[in-house]
Every structure is written in structure tokens, then in C-alpha cells.
């Protein structure tokens, strides 16, 4: 009978935990050999912990946080909780505050940077990886409300622009975006911002690894009834991850739940215009806004 460790599935929680524990060790200039000896485990065991091939033990995480000098209560609680939940698939965040771009706790940007392909379905706005700076600022400002601090908005816009650099990496990250036709007409930021955004899309898809396709309004009811979502296709053996965001929080899904979104994405792609037809439509609309 296989052991619990042998049955372990490399979940996103385990990946997040393994990476953060490795970062903390390297920031302190400590070697795998030294830390393995401290814990009383084999060198290869600690390496497998950090690669998320095996789950970190909770007591090991607690001990290492002391060695690494991590005394921030919030980060300690997050990492210990990850160790406890490393066996579980799917993750729910019920609060955006402090986590959207929290550099101490890897989440959405982490998935973007490590996936082989990103598939998005958008019903309201263009995906963040394809937004212009002005378009992104309009979206973020509306999301944050009129009382939002300008410095905070500027920081989030800058981070969104930085995230787009993954599309120019070598090897390039593949992006396949599906958008509802209504997104092309929604004047986010006004007519001039929308026109610039549409023109930007024409340039973005010149890259062979970036595709944008439009789902025409005439299609009627289709597989996107539940709203926008993103699929992260990870390198093997890591699982595919589906991400959904709404007013109640954020949900990261793996395994069978992510597969449902994958099937929905395939169905949506079947009813979308071709890439060529989509760009012709976008070019026409951009011209009308001139």
C-alpha cells in the first residue's frame, strides 16, 4: 500500500509554501545541507520539500520560521496554515485587502509567471495582460472606488504593467484570450482610451504566442454564463488551476473543478470568431472611434 507521502498530489498550496521557504532560506544565506542537518532530515528530503514533491511538515515549518527570523505574525500564520493545508486542492480568499499584490504571499502573479499557457474568458473588460496603462488605471480606479488613494492606484497600475512582461519572456508565455463582443464597445475610460486600447490589441496579437478571439453577441446563451475566469496551464506534474474573482473574494481551483472550467473554455472557443475575424472587427471599431 502506498504511503501518504507517496500519494501526495503536488498542489498549488505546496508549491507556494515550497517556494517561499526556499526564498527565506536563500535570503539568509543558508544551505540546504545546513538546514537539513538542523531538522535532522536527509538533504534530498529538504530539497523535495522545497520543490513541493513532498509536503512540508507543520513542525518543520514552525522551526524554520524561527531559524529564518520570520516574526511577522501574519506571514507566519499564512505559511503555517499552508503547511496544514498542503494536502488540500482548491483555495478560497475571502478578502482582497493586503493580498492582491502582497509580495510575501504568492498568488495570481505567481501563477501567471509559472504557467505554460494562460487562457482567459472576459465578460466586462479586456484581460489585464492586454490592457494599456490608461485602460488599466480606469479599471482599477473604478474597482477601488472614488476614495482610493492615488499612490495606491499608481502602484497597482505599475504592477499590472510589469506583469505584462511575461509575454516577452523567452520562451514566450502563451496567452489565449476570449472576450465577449460587448467588451469591445464598453467605453472604459472614455472613447479615446477605448480606441487606444483597441489599437493596442492589434499590435499585441502580432506576437505568435498571443491570441485574442471575440465571442459575438449573436451566439446567445453559451458556456460563459457563470462569468469571467482564468485558466493556468502549468508544467507537469503540477495541476491546471482555474481562477475566479467576484465581490465575495477569489477562488483558486484545481483537479476536477478546474477541469470544468477547461471544458467551458473549449466550448466558448468553439463559438468564438476566428482570430482573423476578431481582429477585423476590432480594427473596424477602432476606426469608428477615430
Which structural domains are found in the chain, ordered by start?
Answer: 12-88 (1.10.260.40), 93-288 (3.30.870)
| Inter-residue contact 251 to 220 (CB < 8 Å) | no
What is the structure's pLDDT at 274? Answer: 98
Residue (of 234, 288, 286, 237) closest to 262 by Cα position? 234
What is the structure's pLDDT at 9? Answer: 59
What is the structure's pLDDT at 262? Answer: 95
What is the structure's pLDDT at 84? Answer: 82
Provide the residue-wise pLDDT of the chain in tens; the chain has 290 residues. 334 444 555 677 787 788 889 999 999 999 999 999 999 999 999 999 998 888 889 999 999 999 999 998 888 988 888 888 776 655 545 443 443 333 334 467 778 887 899 999 999 999 999 999 999 999 999 988 767 788 989 999 999 999 999 999 888 899 999 999 999 999 999 999 999 999 999 999 999 999 999 999 999 889 988 899 999 998 776 678 899 987 777 788 877 788 999 999 999 999 999 999 999 999 999 999 98
Q: What is the dihedral of CA 68, 72, 74, 75, to 10 degrees?
A: -20
CA geometry: angle at 128 spanning 123 and 133, to 5°? 120
C-alpha span between 74 and 130 (Å, rounded): 33
Burial of 81 (0-12, 13-18, 19+ CB in 10 A): middle
DSSP at 240: P
CB-based burial, 13-44: b 16+ in 10 Å, e otherwise: bbbbbbbbbbebbeeeeeebeebbeebeeeee
Amino acid at each position: 500500500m502506498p504511503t501518504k507521502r507517496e500519494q501526495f498530489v503536488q498542489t498549488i498550496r505546496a508549491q507556494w509554501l515550497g517556494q517561499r521557504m526556499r526564498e527565506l532560506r536563500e535570503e539568509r544565506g543558508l544551505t540546504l545541507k545546513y538546514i537539513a542537518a538542523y531538522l535532522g532530515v536527509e538533504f534530498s528530503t529538504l530539497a523535495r520539500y522545497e520543490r513541493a514533491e513532498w509536503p512540508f511538515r507543520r513542525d518543520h515549518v514552525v522551526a524554520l520560521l524561527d531559524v529564518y527570523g520570520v516574526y511577522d505574525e501574519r506571514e507566519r500564520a499564512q505559511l503555517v496554515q499552508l503547511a496544514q493545508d498542503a494536502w488540500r486542492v482548491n483555495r478560497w480568499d475571502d478578502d482582497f485587502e493586503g493580498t492582491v499584490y502582497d509580495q510575501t504571499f504568492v498568488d495570481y502573479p505567481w501563477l501567471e509567471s509559472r504557467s505554460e499557457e494562460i487562457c482567459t474568458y472576459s465578460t466586462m473588460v479586456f484581460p489585464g495582460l492586454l490592457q494599456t496603462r490608461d485602460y488599466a488605471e480606469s479599471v482599477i480606479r473604478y474597482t477601488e472606488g472614488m476614495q482610493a488613494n492615488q499612490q495606491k492606484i499608481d502602484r497597482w497600475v505599475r504592477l499590472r504593467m510589469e506583469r505584462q512582461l511575461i509575454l516577452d519572456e523567452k520562451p514566450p508565455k502563451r496567452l489565449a484570450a476570449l472576450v465577449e463582443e460587448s467588451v469591445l464597445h464598453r467605453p472604459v475610460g472614455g472613447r479615446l482610451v477605448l480606441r487606444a486600447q483597441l489599437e493596442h490589441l492589434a499590435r499585441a496579437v502580432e506576437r505568435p504566442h498571443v491570441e485574442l478571439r471575440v465571442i459575438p453577441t449573436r451566439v446567445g446563451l453559451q458556456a460563459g454564463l457563470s462569468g469571467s475566469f482564468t485558466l493556468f496551464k502549468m508544467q507537469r506534474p503540477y495541476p491546471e488551476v482555474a481562477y475566479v474573482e467576484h465581490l465575495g473574494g477569489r477562488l483558486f481551483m484545481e483537479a476536477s473543478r478546474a477541469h470544468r472550467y477547461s471544458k467551458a473554455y473549449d466550448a466558448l472557443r468553439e463559438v468564438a470568431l476566428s482570430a482573423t475575424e476578431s481582429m477585423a472587427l476590432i480594427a473596424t471599431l477602432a476606426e469608428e472611434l477615430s
